[in-house]
């Protein structure tokens, strides 16, 4: 029996695409380079700032101080963290349905704490989620199972009674290693549906509300 659902954040609960893309494009433009389109940066978002820099700067990345570029992206993003970010369609309804069934909810994201907590404060639908484990909460992040096991412990549930929902290969890998039921959020920033299905999650869902049928 499922007692808790733990969610990834970017690309699963929240569509943070435009704010992260704006941070990348700000950095590109400050270096005299053209901005990249949403179609280019969206698939890279779940893989972090380095992946964004790679799709933005391409072969010229090696000509720059990558750490300074990373800091530029993070600084701009931190100052403009929730200009466009919002819950994906169906997330509010899913969270309400879980609450009405007494199912506990948590967040486990590789996003660092200094970005995660201010962002959550800006999203009304997520303010009530008390268990939040970030990429720097422990000494390991996903695909290690340790943060998921920590989240389950904070929720006071057995990992085998948890769903973990995410939109990246490392999410599914971490869930399996933690002995949780894995769910791919196909509505998120997956590279493609074909690639996402190759991760062999327990469930592959095209919209958030469809998870309720599996509780």
pLDDT in tens, 61-102: 999 999 999 999 999 999 999 999 999 999 999 999 999 999
Q: Exactly one of 8, 19, 167, 171 is catalytic; which is it?
A: 8
Residues in the chain with pLDDT < 70?
A: none
Structure tokens at 187: 């509505």
**Nearest Cα residue to 214 out of 89, 90, 97, 87:** 97
Q: Looking at residue 146, what is its pLDDT?
A: 98
Pairing of strands 181-185, 162-166: parallel
Q: Looking at residue 95, what is its pLDDT?
A: 98
202 in active site: no
171 in active site: no
Q: Exactly one of 10, 19, 167, 171 is catalytic; which is it?
A: 10
The three-class DSSP label of residue 204 is strand
**How far is 79 from 88, CA to CA, in rounded Å?**
22
* pTM of the shown model: 0.94
Q: Looking at residue 208, what is its pLDDT?
A: 98
Q: Looking at residue 47, what is its pLDDT?
A: 82
Structure tokens at 92: 């509010």
Cβ contact 29:123 at 8 Å: no
Q: Looking at residue 43, what is its pLDDT?
A: 86
Q: Which residue has the tokens 């309400």?
A: 96
Q: Looking at residue 45, what is its pLDDT?
A: 85
């Amino acid at each position: 029996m499922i007692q808790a659902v733990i969610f990834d954040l970017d690309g699963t609960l929240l569509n943070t695409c435009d704010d992260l893309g704006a941070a990348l494009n700000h950095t590109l433009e400050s270096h005299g380079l053209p901005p990249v389109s949403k179609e280019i940066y969206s698939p890279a978002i779940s893989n972090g700032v380095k992946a964004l820099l790679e799709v933005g700067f391409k072969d010229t990345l090696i000509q720059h101080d990558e750490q300074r570029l990373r800091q530029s992206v993070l600084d701009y993003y931190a100052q403009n963290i929730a200009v466009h970010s919002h819950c994906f369609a169906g997330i509010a309804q899913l969270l309400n349905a879980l609450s009405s069934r007494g199912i506990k909810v948590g967040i486990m994201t590789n996003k660092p704490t200094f970005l995660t907590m201010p962002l959550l404060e800006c999203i009304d639908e997520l303010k009530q989620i008390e268990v939040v484990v970030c990429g720097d909460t422990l000494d390991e992040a996903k695909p290690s199972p340790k943060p998921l096991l920590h989240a389950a412990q904070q929720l006071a549930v057995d990992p085998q009674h948890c769903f973990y929902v995410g939109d990246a290969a490392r999410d599914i890998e971490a869930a399996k290693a933690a002995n949780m039921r894995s769910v791919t959020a196909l509505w998120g920033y997956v590279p493609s549906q074909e690639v996402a299905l190759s991760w062999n999650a327990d469930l592959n869902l095209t919209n958030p509300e469809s998870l309720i049928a599996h509780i």
